[in-house]
Structure 1
Amino acid sequence: MAGVITASEPSWIVPFTGLSPRQFGRLVTVLRREGADVVRRGRPWSLPLEDRALLVAAYWRTNLAMRQLAPLFGVSKSAADRIIDHLGPMLALQPRKRFARDTVLIVDGTLVPTRDHAVAERSKNYRYSTNHQVVIDADTRLVVVVGRPLPGNRNDCKAWEESGAKAAVGMTMTIADGGYPGTGLVMPHRRRKGEDLPVWKEAHNKSHKKVRARVEHAFARMKTWKILRDCRLKGDGVHHAMLGIARLHNLALAG
């Protein structure tokens, strides 16, 4: 059957990937170099690599069920599922391994409603969710680390270490909100009951809030991907989706 959506028509690329056709072309080239299009044993892929990458992005963007998504690309439900399982992990962001001495990072946790209850727990949004620790570069606003997902009832100060985000950034200066006590991260000053903060602490908090607004902006851009509002993927699927969306976010932001 013939598909409606194809990467050969550039007008489909921007709304589903957030990338220009040129950026998307570079991404496909990198995926091909990394082995995403290597001939494998068994049934051959029913779509070229460009369309497979677009299908994965379209799934993350729209969160359509397989029976809805597959006909748009002219493939079966099982083929669409195999494409997502195979290419999703290959689109994943690779965490930055080294940071310049003067780098400043910002960390925050975000909850992703997740239907796989084996990896999710009820959280403060009253839904089964996973907690994802996301670290961005304060200067470039690029995502540099996404920790492994933890049950949504895990508080941020524990998730910071248990997700692997702490180990990934090492000793690099990292800013966080007030939900990370005892972690050694740079947090805003708290006012004691019945006391006012000194002027210098108020000024520090104001500066801290201004810098942290950048991670909120990054989250706002990433949450436009509807799969992060109700993830149907099982097991590591939510982690791969988060990493893949972070990579596409970085590509679009970097131009």
Structure 2
Amino acid sequence: MEQTIRSDQPQWIPVFTGLSARQFGKLVAIVAGRGGQQTGAGRRWGLSLADRVLLVATYYRTNLTLRQIAPLFGVSKSAAGRIVDHLAPHLVLEPQSRRHRPDTVLIVDGTLVPTHDRNMSARSKNYRYSTNLQVAIDANTRLTVAVGDPLPGNRNDCRAYTDSGVDQQCAGAAVMADGGYQGNPEVIMPYRKPREGEPPLPQWKQDLNTVHRRIRARVEHCFAHMKSWKILRDCRRKQRGVWYAAAGIALMRNLTMVV
């Protein structure tokens, strides 16, 4: 089969990955630094490292099936699957390994990612089998700093915040969230609206809620950007592959903002 999409033809990169040629080059360098390049004995890959990274990024961006994407790179369906399985762990946003500075402000929220793996999903409010994906971003830089483990979509954000492990990755920082995180006292939430018959919120609390909503909207913009990689709209990856896809997209999104 003749390879149609190649990394040495830069015109393909923005169309199929959402990255500029420079950003893609940085992504390839990151993967190479993490051991993605083949070393030692064994059967050699038919594609260069850059082409293999391009295949994975295209897979995430377009959500084509492996049977559809393989001919574009001149490989078989099984070879394309092996490439995705091999490189996906090298193409992720690395989990936070140390505490944040006390003056750091993070914003956390959950989004539903429809998945085909029923073992890690549940029917949720979007009436589809989905996972609850917790994501934290830096309120100042708007970069993604943490992606939690996917949980069944019927899990509420209050519980998913701790069960996904994203709370540990936010350790040390001030964390903002919406009112769905009741039960996590360390999270900064808006003041609750009074019940019927109770006095209204004072003006200063209403003003703080307005500022809170304006800042917290940044994580919604993050989700909209991440879901331009269409695999997060209907993910066919199973088990750990769902997290690899989400964390890989978080890394690529960060590259579009800093490189």
TM-score of the two chains, using structure 2 as the length reference: 0.96
Q: 1:1-30 deviations in whole A, cap 9, x for unaligned? A: 111111111011112222221221122122
Q: Which 10-residue stretch deviates more, 16-25 or 217-226?
A: 16-25
Percent same amino acid at aligned positions? 57
Task: Say if 2:203 is the partner of 1:202.
Answer: no
Look up the match of 2:189. Answer: 187
Give the structure 1 partner of residue 114 of structure 2: 113
- Return the offset for 1:234: 1.0
Greater shift after overlay, 89-98 or 231-240?
Answer: 89-98
Matches within 5 A, 1:93-112: 93-96=93-96, 97-112=98-113
Deviates more, 1:39-48 or 1:196-205: 39-48
- 1:179 is paired with a residue whose SS is helix
| Letter aligned with residue 53 of structure 2 | A
The alignment partner of 1:170 has SS state of coil
- Report the secondary structure of 2:222's partner residue: helix
State the SS of the aligned residue for 2:119.
Answer: coil
> Is 1:165 paired with 2:137?
no
1:77 partnered with 2:68: no
Shift of 1:41: 4.2
The root-mean-square deviation of aligned C-alpha atoms, in Å, is 1.1
1:89 aligned partner? 89
> Does 1:3 find its partner at 2:3?
yes
**Could you tell me which residue of structure 2 aligns to residue 35 of structure 1?**
35
Distance 2:222 2:60 in 1: 17
Q: Give the equivalent residue in structure 2 for 1:248.
A: 252
One-letter code aligned to 2:220: E
Question: What letter corresponds to residue 134 of structure 2 in structure 1?
Answer: Q
Measured after TM superposition, the shift of residue 36 of structure 1 is 0.5
Query: Which deviates further from its counterpart, 190-199 or 102-111?
Result: 190-199
Structure 1 runs, 4 residues or longer, greater than 6 Å off: none
Whole-angstrom distance in 1 between the partners of 2:35 and 2:90:
9
Partner of residue 219, structure 1 = 223
Q: What SS class does the counterpart of residue 124 from structure 1 fall into? A: coil
Which secondary structure does the structure 1 equivalent of 2:120 belong to?
A: coil
Cα-to-partner distance string for 1:51-94 (whole Å, 9 max, x where unaligned): 10010011111111111110011000000000000101110101
Where does residue 136 of structure 1 map in the other structure?
A: 137
